[in-house]
A and B are shown apart, each in its own frame.
Chain A
Amino acid sequence: MSTPTTGGAHAAPREPVLTVEDVQLKFGQVTAIDGVSFEVLPDELFAVIGPNGAGKTSIFNVISGVYRPQQGRLTLDGKRLDGARPAAIARRGVARTFQNIELFANLTVIDNLMLGRHQHIGYGTLSALVWLGRARKAELQHRRAVEEIVDFLGLAAWRAMPVGLLPYGVQKRVELGRALAMEPRLLLLDEPVAGMNLEETEDMARFISDIRGELGVSMIMVEHDMGLVMDLADRVMVLDFGVPVTTGTPAEVQRDPRVVAAYLGGDLDTVPDAPAADATPAEIHSAAVEAEEVRP
């Protein structure tokens, strides 16, 4: 795998890659996210969890420029990110996958991955018309880079097929490959294992940890599979109705009674005292059950 030119190695240590400050996003009178702030450090895997409709994907859409927040500030490597168009943000090194696969269904696996490299391929329309020379040389060079991703993700068998014909799990992998082809500085994974069976989930988990190990890309992951999140993430932010509940290591988050309330319902005032810091899962569970019982 080629080393990303924008890799995290030369960034000052612990200087955050992405900072999100007090972002608010509204659709008319509906507040999708409100007062969300967090930082993503180099090489970090930052997870965002929360019940359905909590605003997790909206955060991704704000970061990648699809939605513009009404308020707040985003910076990537210390430079403002908000207000830029999606294509400009992509050029800054933000890549993402989508919850519902957004591949180009009529194009082959190779062409989808080559589209990931779109911003790295330099030639223009006139060279494309002539093809011989500059365009062909660039295509060959980038094809080689794409084939490394094909090998990395084990996509060789499907390489020349239109992605619309591929099974769901493979499409998810192609989408990850397309994001990797962008050589991102920051990778946004939106439910990478949603709808996958155990084997596919394990494969994806391995790919994600390989990406961390070999490429050193910072990642933000939205995921409902708690096992995966707790195993892979460095830090977890919990959202509920667009408002951050807490942020911390997986162990801290699991112990937080507000998280339990967010997932299982109930009002914080009526949630019984927080379980002790060293509470066992059984104690958390019983706290949650109590919270459930007092819910109107």
Chain B
Amino acid sequence: MSTISPQRKSGQRKSAQKPEGTAPEARRSRRVWGRPDLYTSYRQDMAMLNTRPKQLGVLAIVVLAALLPLTTSDDLLKILGTGLVLAIGAIGLNLLVGYAGQVSLGHAFFVGVGAYAASAIAGDPEGRYIGFGIDVVPVWILGGGIAAALAGALVAPIATRLRGLYLAIVTLGLVVIGGYIFTEWRDLSGGAQVGREAPQPVILGSDLTRDGAFTQEQKLYWLFLVVLIISAVLARNVARSRIGRALAAVRDRDVAAGVMGVELGKYKLIAFVLSSFFAGVCGSLLFVANGVFGPERFTLLLSVQFIAMVLIGGVATISGSIMGAMLIALLPRISAELPSFLPFITSAANEHPNIFEVEIALYGALIVMFLLFEPRGLFGIWVRIRTYWKSFPFSY
């Protein structure tokens, strides 16, 4: 537990000898070695990474993730890149489901809206499909996000009148309607089984899909990593702000939230818009990560995969969303490796049990096992490990 005691002298660091009595905001925050939970200012306590170990740990993870492409094969990088993109969508869904407590099976719809909006903005104006030819990366990423956010804003008024199972069914209907529109609007999507080309990722005039000093996979991986980090920071900011608290209040006790002055309808709308925005950003990049992406991919299965990411990663945590997305993205690769450890599983599609069947079964098994044994997901496992070492050698 943290204690805030501005008067405490640390006596161990030079910065501790500053005179007292200045205004709290003017006084520089200081850290006491070996007391990671001792805060000397509210700003320190409110920081996103509010302990030294967290700061160093996250820095190490980011550096490792950034250096990974230099030592990893391109086919694995492609999977990891897809995982990074899915993580953005999982963060969005977690804002809606985890923080605001609104069950949604419609996430794939918003991902699809983002994907097609982005590829329409970036697409070739002379080509077969709708295209405006603006292939600058930030423009079509934001365009995809904003288009999906608008779709979210249109859906939110219905959703704010329903809750629980009813909301889940309505959002399920959204996926069905969306699937139909995506398939039939051939000028936009290319039609079933065909799909359209992904938006061209161009930054500062250079096309990331052309191999140069680095391969296409490496450059795209870095792009995805940067967008994911920005998304994660934005989402954490929302979560720790007045907005995030209001969302949690709506989730935990909506009557009390209203009596506290939290407008229920407004915050459900905000939750839907924010969640859809991240879904749209995810969709625009998912296209790039996968090359061609047919409209039949934005179905209930994709929504369920996002829900699996949130549940496995950790409800109402941003880092959990990222962990869950990476695990789900790596699942096909993991099951592809299984035959070398478990000889009775084959990689031939016409024999049983094969890796594709195992992969599907693993989704279900993982969700069931996490809900039963670790409802807080991968993030919960991490918290246990952390707590174990925090209180070591005691178990309490």
By the criterion CB–CB under 8 Å, are A125 and B270 in contact?
yes
Is the CB–CB distance between B262 and A114 below 8 Å?
no
Q: How far does the alpha carbon of A121 sit from the alpha carbon of B240 in the complex, in Å?
A: 14
Instruction: Decide if A118 is an interface residue (CB 8 Å cutoff).
Output: yes
Q: How many angstroms between the C-alpha atoms of A161 and B248 in the bound complex?
A: 16
**B46 touching A143, Cβ below 8 Å:** yes
Q: Which of A89, A111, A128, A143 has the most CB of B within 10 A?
A: A128
User: Given A107-B245, A129-B237, are A90 and B261 neighbors across the interface (CB < 8 Å)?
Assistant: yes
Residues of A within 8 A of B261 (CB): 87, 90-91, 118-119, 182
Residues of A within 8 A of B259 (CB): 64-66, 86, 89-90, 95-96, 102
Answer yes or no: A230 CB below 8 A from chain B CBs: no
**Segment touching B, from A70-78, A133-141, A196-204, A245-253:** A133-141
Q: Which of A85, A102, A105 has the most CB of B within 10 A?
A: A102
* B255 close to chain A: CB less than 8 A: yes
Determine chain A's interface SS by DSSP, over half rule.
helix
Contact of B245 among A66, A86, A90, A111 (CB under 8 A): A111
Query: Which residues of B have CB within 8 Å of A65?
Result: 258-259
A277 contacts chain B at the CB level, 8 A cutoff:
no
Q: Chain A contacts of B260 at CB under 8 A?
A: 87, 90, 115-116, 118-119, 178, 182
Asked if A140 contacts B43 (CB within 8 A), the reply is: yes
Q: Write the chain A residue with the least CB distance to B246.
A: A118
- B160 to chain A minimum Cβ distance, whole angstroms, is 13
Q: Among B242, B256, B264, point to the contact of A121 (Cβ < 8 A).
A: B242
Is the Cβ of A106 less than 8 Å from the Cβ of B252? yes
Cβ of A152: which chain B residues have Cβ within 8 Å of it?
A: none
- For residue A45, give the distance in angstroms from its CB to the closest CB of chain B: 20
Q: Does B253 reach chain A (CB closer than 8 Å)?
A: yes
In the complex, B42 has a CB within 8 A of chain A:
yes
**B243 in contact (CB, < 8 A):** yes
CB distance from A62 to the nearest CB of B (A): 12
The answer on a CB contact under 8 Å between B246 and A129 is no
Residues of chain B contacted by A147 (CB below 8 angstroms): 4, 42
Known: A87-B263, A118-B261, A125-B243. A136 touches B255 (CB 8 A): no
Contact B238 A125, beta carbon cutoff 8 Å: yes
Q: A160 in the interface, Cβ–Cβ < 8 Å?
A: yes
* Complexed CA–CA distance, A106 and B248 (Å): 8
Q: Please tell me if the beta carbons of A115 and B237 are within 8 angstroms of each other in the complex.
A: no
Interface residues of B in 202-240 (CB under 8 A from A): 234, 237-238, 240
Given A66-B258, A139-B46: A114 in contact with B252 (beta carbons within 8 A): no
Question: What residues of B have a CB within 8 angstroms of the CB of A86 in the complex?
Answer: 255, 258-259
Whether a CB of chain B sits under 8 angstroms from the CB of A168 is no
Q: Is B290 in contact with chain A by the CB < 8 A criterion?
A: no
* Cβ of B385 to closest chain A Cβ, rounded Å: 20
B261 to chain A, nearest CB (A): 4
Pick the residue among A90, A95, A129, A160 that contacts B234 (CB under 8 A).
A129
Chain B residues contacting A104 (CB-CB under 8 Å) are: 248-249, 252-253, 256-257
Contacts of A96 in B (CB 8 A): 259
For B255, what are the chain A residues with a Cβ–Cβ distance below 8 Å? 66, 86, 102
Assess whether B241 is interfacial by the CB under 8 Å rule.
yes
State whether A102 touches B256 (Cβ < 8 A). Answer: yes
- Looking at B4, B24, B260, B270, which has the most chain A CB atoms within 10 Å of its CB? B260
Asked whether, in the complex, the Cβ of B253 is within 8 Å of the Cβ of A115, the reply is: no
Nearest Cβ on chain B to A231's Cβ, whole angstroms = 27
Residues of A within 8 A of B2 (CB): 159-160
Q: In whole angstroms, how far apart are the Cα atoms of A166 and B264 in the complex?
A: 27
Are B46 and A135 in contact (CB-based, < 8 A)? no
CB-defined interface of A91-124 with B at 8 Å, one 1/0 digit per residue? 1000110100011111100010011101101010
- The answer to whether B246 and A115 touch across the interface, beta carbons within 8 angstroms, is yes
Q: Tell me how far the C-beta of A76 lies from the nearest C-beta in chain B, rounded to whole angstroms.
A: 14
The answer for the CA separation of A118 and B241 in the assembled complex, in Å, is 10
Known contacts A66-B259, A102-B255; A128/B43 CB under 8 A: no
Q: A85-B258, A135-B242, A143-B42 are in contact. List 20 more A-B contacts (CB 8 A).
A: A66-B259, A87-B263, A89-B259, A90-B258, A96-B259, A102-B256, A103-B256, A104-B252, A104-B253, A114-B245, A115-B245, A115-B257, A118-B246, A118-B261, A119-B261, A123-B241, A129-B237, A131-B240, A138-B242, A140-B43
Q: 6 A-B Cβ contacts within 8 A?
A: A66-B259, A115-B245, A123-B242, A139-B242, A159-B4, A160-B1
Interface residues of B (CB under 8 A from A): 1-4, 24-25, 42-43, 46, 234, 237-238, 240-246, 248-249, 252-253, 255-264, 270, 274, 316
- A interface, CB within 8 angstroms of B: 64-66, 85-87, 89-91, 95-96, 98, 102-107, 111, 114-116, 118-119, 121, 123, 125, 127-131, 135-136, 138-140, 143-144, 147, 156, 159-161, 178, 182
